[in-house]
A = this chain, B = another copy of it.
Amino acid sequence: MQNLLREIAILSSTSAALDWDQETFAPPQAVDFRSKQLAYLAGKIHGLKTSGAFQEGLEDDSLGEANQRELRHQFDRATKLPRGLVERASETSSLGKAAWSEAREKDDFSLFAPHLAKLLDIAREQADHWGYEDEPYDALLSEYERSAKTREVAALFDSISDDLAQIAVAAVEKSASIPANFLHGPAPIHEQMTLNREIAESLGFDFQSGRIDTTEHPFCTTLGPADIRLTTRYDKNDFASSLFGVMHETGHGLYEQGLPSEDFHLPSGQAVSLGIHESQSRLWENHVGRSRPFWERWLPRAQELFPHLRPIDLDQFLVGINRAAYSAIRVEADEATYDLHILLRFKLERALLSGELEVTDVPGAWNETFESLFGFRPGNDTEGCLQDIHWSMGGLGYFATYSLGNLNSAQLHQSAVQDPEVIQGTQQGDFIPLLNWMQEKIHAKGSTLFPQDLMESATGSPTKPDAYLAHLRERFC
């Protein structure tokens, strides 16, 4: 069984490598054949995960109970999908990404619409094969968030949506006097790369087994147990946009680098869920990256690299990086308004899947719902319903995990800073003790516990909104 799982790990990481290349460097005409390569690998992996050998291997007690449980779950999910559907899903998402990229560039939703329709059909088929309790969304969500229920997530979101809206209003109002371009100024890409790298390194990211490249949409992917790739994009006039993106992806990367590498092929060596993954990225991006102790250490260096920051003192700078405003783009949204973007997507995804919303009506529905949450409409579809890569990759049921990640990150941070070593390090701008805490409580566990049990073991309780709302109120109200 171990050898079969190693084979699957080799094929999966090879697929990740081809995918990374397609996003970063592959020439435009390469995409057709690349989609065939990826579909082939997806089919092979699916074949192995549904094989008789895999089923027999599930009885191998040397794997340990948790690995057996997770592998049984994977086998169950995989055998429910016909191989043709798996290959079609891979090829469709490969072509979908290329079409999305072009549609976004040309601000033309119609170029992406037929692909989205196909991706939705596939998602519905998948949900039907997997089965679900209440609605198709359940089946998709649990692909990303083990053992989560749409109903419970929706209830959790409903319970905080008013608080989130109030916090957003208060934060935006408080920031009204801070100009949008408060921290903008010439930021040559080379200098941005320097600062990004120095900061990622200081947070503990190991560049001997990782790197940062440039893509349209930032992401983190794992090409091997010692090969974690982050990406970012650059705004020549705003160093903070790329930097906070890099701290976010560094959080994902630290989680991947912190997993037990000898178990790379086993659930015990793999990330447990996106809601936990996102807790790590948001931890480093927001709880660390937008805090006073962090910038006490780093503002002087940023001022060296970007002279326009020199007249700005630490207090002003913190006000600048924690400025809140309603904006169209999710990945550039501040903490105070971020979850509103998720509520929008969660609502639209559920409507698309249930059939209440037609693909051709997506731009209209997007803009309408957006206006009800943010009070204005996006300037165009590139800044609206075309901004995210997720749907183009077939990633439906994914967005909810971002807000779960926000809640988890605050709850984990609140627990971690009870530890004297973490406090002491934090006060000196040294966040390695915080990383050590996360490695011990989260990273080292891999997928041995369900996400909610992991949260309970690390913080004493499953995901609750208290720490997150308290954090937002403290920072913005």
Contacts and interface: CB of A to CB of B under 8 A. Distances in A.
Interface string A388-418: 0000000000000000000000000000000
A245 interface: no
A24 to B, nearest CB: 8
A34 B213 contact: no
B17 A226 contact: no
Interface string A167-211: 000000000000000000000000000000000000000111111
A179 B453 CA distance: 74
Given A40-B7, A211-B25, A33 B13 contact: yes
Contact of A34 (B7, B33, B224): B224
Q: Which of A13, A21, A208 has the most CB of B within 10 A?
A: A21
Given A18-B17, A21-B21, A27 B225 contact: no
A223 B21 CA distance: 11
A30 B226 contact: yes
Q: Which of A29, A37, A264 has the most CB of B within 10 A?
A: A29
A209 B30 contact: yes
Contacts of A36: 10
A210 B27 CA distance: 6
A76 interface: no
Copies of this chain in its oligomeric complex? 2
Say what secondary structure dominates the interface of chain A: helix
A32 interface: yes
Interface in A115-149: none
Contacts of A33: 13, 224-227, 264
A26 interface: yes
Contact of A207 (B27, B41, B223): B27
A395 to B, nearest CB: 23
Interface in A85-100: none
A84 interface: no
A208 B28 contact: yes
Interface string A441-456: 0000000000000000
Contacts of A207: 27
Given A27-B208, A29-B209, A209-B27, A224 B14 contact: no
Contacts of A227: 26-27, 29-30, 33-34
Interface of A: 7, 10, 13-14, 17-18, 21, 25-30, 32-34, 36-37, 40-41, 206-211, 213, 223-227, 264
Given A25-B213, A26-B227, A33-B227, 15 more contacts: A7-B40, A10-B36, A10-B37, A14-B41, A17-B17, A17-B21, A25-B211, A27-B208, A27-B210, A27-B227, A29-B209, A29-B227, A30-B223, A30-B227, A34-B224
27 contacts: A7-B40, A13-B33, A13-B37, A17-B17, A17-B18, A17-B21, A17-B37, A25-B213, A26-B227, A27-B208, A27-B209, A27-B226, A27-B227, A28-B208, A29-B209, A29-B227, A30-B209, A30-B223, A30-B224, A32-B226, A33-B224, A33-B225, A33-B226, A33-B227, A34-B224, A34-B227, A37-B224
